[in-house]
Chain A
Amino acid sequence: MDQFAVKVFVRLRPSVLDPAGEATKSASIKLGAEGIKSLRIGKMIELKIEGNDENQVREKIDLLCSRLFANTVIEDYEYSLEKL
């Protein structure tokens, strides 16, 4: 049984307003960081998963992402997978 390390990145779709990102951008500017044109906040989920076959593992990750980790009405996801 192989083990895989997975990193999932969930972010708001480009068409969805990100008020938390806007607020953080304002705070960044107050900190003196100049030149920030845009700032958006997503989330990162890390997991380790066992599986015999990379394709099967990818199917599981896609299921988790599309049905739980991201709400695909407002969020996109992508992930990286690395065999340990």
Chain B
Amino acid sequence: MDNFTVGVVVFPGSNCDRDVSWALEGCLDIRTKYLWHESSDLNDVDAIVLPGGFSYGDYLRCGAIARFSPLINALDDFVKSGKRVLGICNGFQILTESGFLPGALTSNKNLNFICDDVELDIVSSKGGWFDNKNEKQTIKLPIAHGEGRYHCDSDTLKKLVDNELIALRYKSNPNGSSFDIAGITNEQGNVLGLMPHPERACDEVIGGTDGLFTLKSLIMK
């Protein structure tokens, strides 16, 4: 799609914004535009990525302060219009802090910062984020986080399971997440939050291409 543009949000402390832009433009030929978090104008972007990093230095809690930026405030209408939002790592934390996704992300069970490639089971293709044609049910993506443990109460977990909102589960849980959850969607399916980094799995020279399909999904309607 010639004019389709993905907005990549930049907060003070974001550090994976360039990775996302590189993956989308360099590997998928999808146009990107950086969006400074103080902007609330989302009119010329068709999908949004909240990249990984340490927005506001993770002060107070990861994503706690970023959620009050003008851009996040403007996201409500964007999401309601059905457009896609992808939150990766810190982006996922921001989506939970702002209430677009349920639950919370907190410190890893073993307290270590984990930097690894992990195998993930595709559990649901709600929203088409992982609805790949090859019928591949297990993918491998890098993770890089210290606060990636997904936590929710049992009522929320039941809702996630019943409504097929769990997108990805760890095959071998690295951080203690409830129900081995690595990624979830909202009920409409147009918002995905995940702790693994698909933008770091888009080229064989850096270890694999299992992240391509999810990023390509941003251009789906």
Contacts and interface: CB of A to CB of B under 8 A. Distances in A.
Interface of A: 15-17, 19-20, 23, 68-69, 71, 73-74
B153 A68 contact: no
Contact of A71 (B104, B110, B153, B176): B104
Contacts of A17: 109, 149, 151, 176
Contacts of A23: 111
A3 B149 CA distance: 40
Given A15-B153, A16-B106, A17-B176, A71 B111 contact: no
A26 B106 CA distance: 20
B97 interface: yes
Interface of B: 60-61, 64, 68, 96-97, 102-104, 106-111, 149, 151-153, 176
Secondary structure call for the B interface: loop
B103 A19 contact: no
17 contacts: A15-B153, A16-B106, A16-B151, A17-B109, A19-B107, A19-B109, A20-B111, A23-B111, A68-B60, A69-B60, A71-B97, A71-B104, A73-B102, A73-B103, A73-B151, A73-B152, A74-B151
A13 to B, nearest CB: 9
Name the residue in A17, A19, A20, A73 with the highest tally of chain B Cβ atoms < 10 Å from its Cβ.
Answer: A73
B96 A19 contact: no
A73 B64 CA distance: 13
A73 B111 CA distance: 20
Nearest to B111: A19
A61 B164 CA distance: 37
Secondary structure call for the A interface: loop
B151 A19 contact: no
Contact of B96 (A16, A69, A73): A73
A71 B102 CA distance: 12
Contacts of A74: 104, 106, 151
A20 B176 CA distance: 14
B104 A68 contact: no
Contacts of A16: 106, 151
A20 B104 contact: no
Given A20-B107, A68-B64, A73-B104, 6 more contacts: A16-B106, A17-B149, A17-B151, A17-B176, A20-B111, A71-B64
A74 B63 CA distance: 14
A36 B68 CA distance: 40
Nearest to A15: B153
Contacts of A19: 107-111
A71 B103 CA distance: 10
A71 B61 contact: yes
A16 B154 CA distance: 12
A23 B108 CA distance: 12
B147 to A, nearest CB: 11
A20 B149 CA distance: 13
